[in-house]
Structure 1
Amino acid sequence: MTSNDKDFVFGRHSGLDFLRTQNADRINKVFLQHGIQENFANQVYALAKKKSLVVQTVPKNKLDRLVQGQNHQGLVLAISSFEYADLNALLDQFEKNDKDAFLLMLDSIEDPHNLGSILRSADATGVNAIIIPKRHATGLTSVVAKTSTGAIDYVPVARVNNLVQTTKLLKKRGYWIFGTDMKGTDYRRWNANGKTVLVIGNEGKGISHLLKEQMDQTLTLPMVGHVQSLNASVATGILLYQMMNSKNPLK
């Protein structure tokens, strides 16, 4: 069964079927009732492992709240109401069209409002696609869609298992990788021409250490005020407009 707002799939038959299908890429979280029968739990864990999904065991009352008291039979999948794009297919399409694509990679953005706002800025500045990780990050939820005010329908979002491996793939395909760091180059000197990826870090921790090692160059936003940080979506918007300016200079 699915909930009325289509953000959940629940019940043993429906949940296992969804885990087996191509649509499993839309799953944000797998919730399994604590103490559920071992045979059933093993089926869930085996299917989740194939899809690189983390299973979270929770009390029955949490599952009751998620589906508003409907019969979940110990399994609830939190899913995206929106389809994700296939990254390799996107890259092939860009190369076929001889396009110097600009990609935005988000390293574990957890606030759906931030992701929605970033989608709006990405659409406004001509970002060709956004890449997000499957774990420890918000997916395409109804909150994201609402905050994006329609941009979610125009900017493809690809979800990948490992951002470090993805950056290595992108480098092999000719992309330059830029990230944010307090000790980076002033963003106003950034030339974003060519096949480019901008990496934005987590709201609190920034870009993870292993991913930062993959950067070709880091950028910083100079600040003269007392608060030495910006909201992730605000910082992203500033950098995206610098990208647009460097790709489309005023004549």
Structure 2
Amino acid sequence: MRYEELTIEGRNAVMEAYRSGKTIDKLFVLDGCQDGPVRSIIREAKKQDTLLSYVAKERLDQMSETGKHQGVIAYAAAYEYAEVEDMLKLAEEKGEPPFLFLLDNIEDPHNLGAIIRTANLAGAHGVIIPKRRAVGLTATVARTSAGALNYTPVAKVTNLSAVIEELKEKGLWFVCADMGGEVMYSLNLKGPIGLVIGSEGEGVSRLVKERCDFVASIPMKGDIDSLNASVAAGVLAYEIVRQRMS
């Protein structure tokens, strides 16, 4: 199976996982913790027959990947990676031209989580990440996505360039974010589109950039030379959203 073990930490993240119907295998709760939000989580756990353990704070601290467990940690049947095909089907079901995010070299889990959150809110049909030199769906990614990971499919592929070529044959075209490109407001970003975002340090790799139809730059007036990758993704995604609505 295409699974990665998933630890969900923090009250909101655990509650959101229950609400979205995710299967929680085990729930660990700080022994003696009786406040409202934790009681609600325990109620959900009992409803769904989750294996429930009350443990000492030291045990939770040891288990925690983020250091911010707020007295609850859940082990979930981890996020199953989607297939790229699932994303195209989702677009078709919604009667919308496909809108995908492709991420090249994103190694920071906070950036990945924030980009998945943006993709969800911008109405994208999925996020494609590479297997190598990139972060997968960890607890930090899940928490930073603020629940979006429960709704936005993520596919993990061996070769981004090859996937771009396959999707071009299905009518998508691709725009990547790069300082050296044309100002995004002058580009036509309508129709079936893939938005390619690279890491702050390296940007989009040369091979992937060569496959893109357009290179878009975000106008910047400040004194530093680049935006955080997740912010760049948000700015470009919402220019695409604006053009789709007009």
- Fold conserved between structures, TM > 0.5: yes
The amino acid that maps onto 1:145 is: A
Q: In the alignment, is residue 212 of structure 1 matched against residue 209 of structure 2?
A: yes
1:111 is matched with which residue? Answer: 108
RMSD of aligned C-alpha atoms? 2.1
1:244 to 236, 241, 246: 241
- For the residue of structure 1 that corresponds to 2:182, the secondary structure is strand
Q: 1:89, CA displacement in angstroms?
A: 3.4
CA contact (8 A) 2:90 2:125 kept: no
CA contact (8 A) 1:81 1:142 kept: no
- For the residue of structure 1 that corresponds to 2:97, the secondary structure is coil
Q: 1:207, CA displacement in angstroms?
A: 0.6
The amino acid that maps onto 1:160 is: V
1:158 is matched with which residue? Answer: 155
2:80 is matched with which residue? Answer: 83
- Alpha-carbon separation, structure 2, partners of 1:234 and 1:248: 21
The amino acid that maps onto 1:26 is: Y
Q: In the alignment, is residue 26 of structure 1 matched against residue 3 of structure 2?
A: yes
- Alpha-carbon separation, structure 2, partners of 1:186 and 1:173: 27
- Alpha-carbon separation, structure 2, partners of 1:149 and 1:159: 20
Q: In the alignment, is residue 188 of structure 1 matched against residue 185 of structure 2?
A: yes
- Alpha-carbon separation, structure 1, partners of 2:214 and 2:184: 11
Q: TM-score when scaled to structure 2? A: 0.67
Structure 1's 228 and 126: CA in aligned 2 closer, same or farther, altered over 3 A?
same
The amino acid that maps onto 1:121 is: T
> Deviation string for 1:73-114 (max 9, x for gaps)?
xxxxxxx93111111233245346653110010002000000
Unaligned runs of 5+ in 2: 6-61, 64-76
- Alpha-carbon separation, structure 2, partners of 1:154 and 1:243: 20
2:142 is matched with which residue? Answer: 145
Equivalent pairs counted in the alignment come to 178
- Alpha-carbon separation, structure 1, partners of 2:79 and 2:111: 17
- For the residue of structure 2 that corresponds to 1:185, the secondary structure is strand
- Alpha-carbon separation, structure 2, partners of 1:97 and 1:119: 19
- For the residue of structure 2 that corresponds to 1:226, the secondary structure is coil
Q: 1:124, CA displacement in angstroms?
A: 1.3
Unaligned runs of 5+ in 1: 1-22, 29-66, 69-79
1:172 is matched with which residue? Answer: 169
Q: 1:154, CA displacement in angstroms?
A: 1.2
1:228 to 225, 228, 232: 225
Q: 1:219, CA displacement in angstroms?
A: 0.2
Q: 1:131, CA displacement in angstroms?
A: 0.5
CA contact (8 A) 1:120 1:148 kept: yes
